[in-house]
Amino acid sequence: MTQQNKAAAGRRPKAGDPSQAKQEQLAAFTSDNIPQLTTNQGLQIPDNHNSLKAGVRGPTLLEDFILREKITHFDHERIPERVVHARGAAAHGYFEVYKSMSQFTAAEFLQDPAVKTPVFVRFSTVAGSRGSADTVRDVRGFAVKFYTQQGNYDLVGNNIPVFFIQDAMKFPDLIHAVKAEPHNEIPQAASAHDSFWDFASLMPESTHMLMWAMSDRAIPRSLRMMEGFGVHTFRFVNARGESHFVKFHWKPKLGIHGLAWDEAQKIAGKDPDFHRRDLWESIENGNFPEWELGVQMIPQDKEHAFGFDLLDPTKLVPEEMVPVQRIGRMVLNRNPDNFFAETEQVAFHPGHVVPGIDFSNDPLLQGRLFSYTDTQISRLGGANFHELPINKAVCPVHNFQRDGMHRQTIARGQVAYEPHSLIDGKEFRIDGGSAGFQSFPEEIDPPKVRRRSPSFDDHFTQARLFFNSQSVAEKEHIVAAFRFELSKVDTPGVRQRMVDNLAHVDEKLARRVAEVLGINAPDAKAAAGRPGYRDHRMTMPIDESPALSMQDTGDGSVKTRKVAIVVADGIDSASLKAVREGIEQAGAKCMVIGPRLGTVASASKRQVDVDGTFANMPSIMFDAVLVPAGAAGVATLQANGDALHFVLEAYKHCKAICAIGEGVQMLSSLGIGSDPKAAPPGVVVAATPVTNLGDATAALQIAQDFVAAIGKHRHWERAVDGVPA
């Protein structure tokens, strides 16, 4: 057991700690008083193995109500999955504000730093079904339910701050296009097919979002390592009725990190539950994920000060123009007790707001306010989905809504209407007032029209800003992503149309994407003549926004990072022990990976426990690789093709690698780090083994250098095109 696991195992359970719930559950089933099985009405079941029959070999009798109840419940224990965001993972936690925000909003949960507001957070992919893989290229949902004393507030967003379309009228078309094609239900959980790119190429407004979706943002390393955004522009309204437009951000404490595309595809096959497993295990081990809530606030009178429209969901507000103020933090510290009852039945809705938070006229947001209620009624079986435990408010609820499927509240008395006077002879009437939720009294421009504002016309300026803001490696990944996706499109005209659109973002980007697609060079003039294109370019005060790049995010911490130590019989356990301790003290988790489970014998005949094999725990499951010293052990590893592939694959995915003593020879044989003074980026080599206490300083230095390399997440500048892995 590692030091970190020992510490987790020895923790005393705290209130709300999932380990405490597990212990209580275990105690209940190991006591002498084992609960009896009953029907849903509490009737004790005499036999849970045999149905009621007419004779031991006769037909089953219709009167077997116990069998019928059990089978009927089984037949209906799956609800319709979400049309989008079907595959998800979730956790409980809390939110606390840093200081009162009363100057800007009347929302009570944003007032008192001493109050911890319970939250339930669900992360999800958008396009795939419940059975799809976690690491597909896709947008991730990031939905937070705050259980406040003013009612439930749902901040329903994504890990990308903009969206594909500007108006909710196009949402069904977008989803129909990105889903598996209807004639053959192929491909699952992927946008790399004709129908999506046909739609996207004909909708220039999607260009900005496409840049994000083709970037590393769409393949996060972990749910714990991705940003969240409210996407839309909302309002803060204070007690005096003063309004500020607001954009919401969730900033992860661990920084923003992604997977290599090759790595993501392999993980989908090796462990399709990679993200949900990572989230679950982190919370179980006490490594609670944490985000800071940030807001960009724009005074009401500055609504039109930016050259783009705040109501346009395909636009963001650059942080260089309006800084993000970090106003609180969210910690996830408890896993769900039951996936179906909580993660699957939770119902989010952007219309679940509290006093002090209001909507803007974003036409995509306005459509969502209708869609979510309609969806939950269909998915959860009726209008009473709010009474399910995971959706139930923690504050008092009182209204005259009655009955319906799955009603749980038992409403008493003869009055189910308002106004009324039958309860105590006095008239009860709600005619409005200053209490409760108040919509901001915004002036509305007539007349009624079915058009878009000209201020929504520019589709390319912010897409160009995003691309310009990426590091060299991130730009290369975007080019590769467009090439991969469009190479899956069978219709040449769609491929051509898409690169013509990209020519308005960056001519070199479009040309490089087109080079491998068997089409003509990009033609910006062709795109300019298509429906939906607007010959308009906003004037941006900045050409680049460093906040849009994932590079150098986080504080360099390696907490919760996973390091694979590759071993075989004959490794130097003394050298390994010294460096391993330094890595684990920095917060990383080490796992020993070898050719077989059980143990390997070190050069000094000590037994080293093996946590996984090269087959069941491949390099794609780790953030870094350590090759220890030991002549016999390294010789065995060099003769093992799986071990060589393990190291080469990690190197190709630009992960940190450390080699000690004879381990350096193994890297050198693979063409890696042959010169310790000129090792490739992220490769730490120490030719001399650390074998005794006198080398403690050297061991510490090796560990520190390795930790620093891991803290950079990836070393994308590494040349890996020729690596055979």
The residues carrying an active-site annotation are: 85, 158
Tokens of 477: 């990944």
**Structural contact between residues 60 and 67, judged by C-beta atoms closer than 8 angstroms:** yes
Q: Indicate the DSSP class of residue 328.
A: E
d(CA 3, CA 567): 19
How many angstroms separate the CA atoms of 319 and 322, rounded?
Answer: 5
Task: Judge contact between 610 and 584, C-beta under 8 A.
Answer: no
Coil, strand, or helix at residue 659? strand
- Amino acid code (one letter) for 258: G
What is the spatial distance between Cα 528 and Cα 683, in angstroms, rounded to a whole number? 48
Among 397, 347, 386, which Cα is nearest to 149's? 397
3-state class of 484 per DSSP? helix
Contacts of 275 (CB under 8 A, 6+ apart): 89, 123, 134, 135, 220, 222, 223
- How far is 32 from 322, CA to CA, in rounded Å? 63
Q: Where are the alpha helices (DSSP H) in 91-181?
A: 171-178
479 membership: H or E segment, kind and range: helix 472-487
Owner of token pair 């006077």: 421
Q: Helix/strand/coil (H, E, C) string of 595-625?
A: CCCEEEECCCCCEEEECEECCCCCHHHCCEE
Number of C-beta neighbours around residue 38 at 10 A: 11
Residue 121: strand, helix, or coil: strand
Give every CB contact of residue 410 below 8 A, 6+ residues apart in sequence: none
Phi (first) and psi of residue 268, to 5 degrees: -55, -30
> Which of 136, 121, 124, 203 has the alpha carbon at shortest distance from 167?
203
Rounded CA-CA distance 225/277 in Å is: 14
Q: Count the residues in the chain.
A: 725
Please give the Cα distance from 589 to 475 (Å, whole number). Answer: 31
Per DSSP bridges, beta strands 228-229 and 325-334 are unpaired
Q: Please give the angle made by the CA atoms of 423, 428 and 431, to the nearest 5 degrees.
A: 160
